[in-house]
Amino acid sequence: MMMLPENQRDTPVLCADSIGKRFGDVRVLVAATLHVPAGRIIGLFGRNGSGKSTLMKIMAGQLRADHGYIQFNGHVYHTRPAPHLLGRAGLYYAPTEGALSRWFRFGEQLAAVCKHTGNDDRLKHTIELFRLDGVLERTPQSFSGGESRRAALALACARNPRCLLSDEPLYGIDPNDREILLSAFRTLADEGCAVLVTGHETPELLPACDRVAWLSGGSISMLGDGRTARLHHSFRRDYLG
């Protein structure tokens, strides 16, 4: 697969601007602004309940914001964007629990996605990227947690996404599966995909991120790259303890 030249990275692909969201009397997001550029992995961090998943769902069209707007591929959405239209344009949202069919062999599911989206040339690449040779003839009901996570993300990546939103991808899986996913995210970014991830596995996620966003009090602060953020005083105080 072609790698994105360095001078073509950092082009804004997905932007959330001044996003606000309230659930009853609880204001989760106030004026959250976040840009996810091509060829980069952005890590979105914050305490439990800070609104990370809410913001990601709004960016993916899964929830409606109370105010603010979403911009994807140069198109501005002042109301909730339709998820299927975002999908057609190349944005894919991967929740912690993926949407695999339990009753069909995974190899059949993956091949069907590649064929339906016109990405047959990505089939072998995706299998290798997520190291899925050993599960192609099995149904997802027999998968381990790590195999399920890798397979679900593979279905999204087989579509050759322009932007991938992955909520808590490392949650509850073993170190080997985590390493595979982080390597896959890096390859996707190198191919030009804009990648946004959340998670609490800071020792693994932080070094993998090109930039880190900290969500607190309903708004976002950018803390530089993952390695810098790991040493950042406020990040250590507020997140690592």
pTM, to two decimals: 0.89
- For tokens 């947690």, what's the residue? 145
Complete domains list, the chain, with CATH: 6-97+162-240 (3.40.50.300)
**Structure confidence at residue 47 (pLDDT):** 86
**Structure confidence at residue 87 (pLDDT):** 87
Mean pLDDT in order along the chain per 10 residues (241 residues): 66 92 93 94 90 94 94 88 88 82 92 89 93 94 93 91 94 94 95 94 88 89 66 53 49
The helix (H) or strand (E) run that includes residue 210 is: none
Q: Which two tokens stand for residue 126?
A: 């995706």
DSSP 107-161: HHHHHHHHHHTT-GGGHHHHHHHTT-GGGTTS-GGG--HHHHHHHHHHHHHTT--
**Structure confidence at residue 18 (pLDDT):** 94
Report the chain's terminal Cα–Cα distance, integer Å.
41
**Structure confidence at residue 239 (pLDDT):** 56
**Structure confidence at residue 56 (pLDDT):** 95
**Structure confidence at residue 119 (pLDDT):** 85
pLDDT tens readout for residues 32-54: 999 999 999 999 998 888 899 99
Q: What are phi and psi of 28, to 5 degrees?
A: -90, -45
